[in-house]
Structure 1
């Protein structure tokens, strides 16, 4: 299948490189608002077709699938354009700003007979399967702490008086939707949607959260997620069971998963994949679902995406964090 890209940042570069390992996706087109930037990006990736008009790209017979990595608040408009052009769409996380956009977009996807995916890479990694296996060893889960605390160089620009997209309500930014969605999607993928959720943000003057603590309540345990773009942490992710603790590095990659048993401190390494670009797995899976028409797995991923977005929208609104697109 031939795919086009919207967005010219590092994440798009990573997806393009990942696609080369799938054997099912061929990079065929690029889009950018400016002709010079589009041409330069096409030259960089040796791509023939260049677009500066989204509708023209959506109507092109040279594109079957589109990968979208534009600013968060632009996702909805861009996704809808391609769905109406009957293109399958892979959209970077967070897929949309709110549930209204989610519902409308998936309705349009169904009307046009195409698939719409959220690119949440950790859910497709072999390490996610290793975590599921590790859960069988640690006994009844009672608590967890999942940090994604990563200082952003763009915060320096924010402090200098600039307005980086990710620190503005205009572009649907903030720590929770940018970084917190990784551990949140991991928890929802492993345990389902929580019974309730509460968020305790550290607010910036721009109206978004620079960091925060998300507490998820389940019938038998409570999960704590720490997310920040204004601080740095080297703490491990931990899921605590009555027999042992499941430990791993980084909720986006789940590197070095292992189980540490209680009492004797016995440590068991789990089968792990340390691929430097774990977007390979989501690219392969999305291509497989499209080509095989696997609607069962598609629906599972679709509603997992819904559950994650439902949590982030609810706790944002609880704290008065409103994106500009929600105030129109």
Structure 2
């Protein structure tokens, strides 16, 4: 059983805790929040657990009962907090996006190896059964000719922007913006499926806050291009598709994938390839299971694959942000 502590008190942290517990491999042992009342309220949902409450990161890092720290704090805090816990001898599961800059991530992976610890970025969708089927089924397509991947989900905080406010998710000073909040899922999916692109071009919609509310991202590969659409300004039920000489693979969404369909344009037939889709309540369980397996078994090979993926994704988002002047505070110094 892996005793873990959490940083961050949003819905994603609750979801990871529930899904981690569902694997029977994790045990919530500590919660951090800057305010004691917030920590108490958050931990009260897990009254069956003996949960230590912390408002001081150094004290939490010194807790000998903790094996792993799950970090889901605001993006701008990821680098320093991860560094603190790696130095304290804790494995870290880090919510996306990992860091603001590639050199920060390089430093953290270097530190994790020196300490003999795992640092794993939490990409839920690449661990889903149907996403794995999607990747394996690409062999049915023959030579790839292109792809289109969409993740468009309206955020209530967009209305706050329209009202003149500056919520964290749309604030460059908090390392925010739609690309690194939601669009990064499309980048991660494309890189996992096709590898690192040779070039990338982003066409963002810039909000009054200075951050991007969404945009179109083109990834260029040797013989094809991939079109990504990620936005928090509107909803869309547009499916994601991969095109090949022999047909098309279709998924209704790029996360929480409920089915995988192969369309044969010559036979005019549809073949259902997927398994039963993930339960929305437990959509982080597959990744929590894999995180535990890697840490408990010491699977450094699997960790190395995930590390390379994290590096490649960050290189794309970092490049296209800078190309468009979407700079975070650490980049303006």
- TM value normalised by structure 1: 0.97
1:186 alignment partner in structure 2: 189
| Alignment pair present for 1:256 and 2:259 | yes
- For 2:40, the equivalent position in structure 1 comes to 39
Are 1:92 and 1:118, in contact at CA under 8 Å, matched by a contact in 2?
yes
The 5-angstrom pairing of residues 204-215 of structure 1 reads 204-215=207-218
Residue 241 of structure 1, CA deviation:
1.0
**2:203 counterpart SS class:** strand
Q: Deviations over 1:107-154 (max 9, x none)?
A: 221222211010011111111221023211122210111111111001
Partner SS, residue 218 of structure 2: strand
- Describe the SS at the equivalent of 1:61: coil
Q: Kindly indicate whether the alpha-carbon contact (under 8 Å) linking 2:258 and 2:274 is maintained by their aligned counterparts in 1.
A: no
Q: Which residue of 2 aligns with 1:128?
A: 131
Q: Give CA-to-partner distance per residue, 1:187-210, whole Å, 9 cap, x none.
A: 111111011111111111222111
How many corresponding residue pairs?
Answer: 328
Shift of 1:273: 3.8
Is 1:101–2:109 an aligned residue pair? no
Alignment of 1:50-69 (within 5 A): 50-69=53-72
Alpha-carbon shift at residue 5 of structure 1 (Å):
0.6
| Cα distance in 2 between the residues matched to 1:42 and 1:252 | 28
Contact 1:138 1:261 in 2 (8 A): no
The separation in 2 between residues aligned to 1:71 and 1:272, in whole angstroms, is 34
Q: Which residue of 2 aligns with 1:295?
A: 300
Q: Which runs of 5+ in 2 are unaligned?
A: none
Partner SS for 1:233: coil
Q: Are 1:318 and 2:323 an aligned pair?
A: yes
Q: Contact (CA 8 Å) 1:134, 1:258: kept in 2 or not?
A: no
TM-score, reference length from structure 2: 0.96
Kindly report which structure 2 residues correspond to 1:164-313, keeping only aligned pairs within 5 A, or say none. 164-276=167-279, 277-313=282-318
CA–CA distance in structure 1, aligned partners of residues 322 and 77 of structure 2: 20
CA distance in 1, matches of 2:322, 2:231: 19
Deviation at 1:265, TM superposition (A): 2.2
Deviation at 1:88, TM superposition (A): 0.4
Aligned counterpart in structure 1 of residue 85 of structure 2, from 76, 82, 86:
82
Unaligned ranges ≥5, structure 1: none
How far apart in 2 are the matches of 1:73 and 1:141?
Answer: 37
Aligned CA RMSD, in angstroms, stands at 1.1
Contact in 2 for aligned 1:183/1:252 (Cα 8 Å)? no
Q: Deviations over 1:192-238 (max 9, x none)?
A: 10111111111112221111111011112110001111122110001
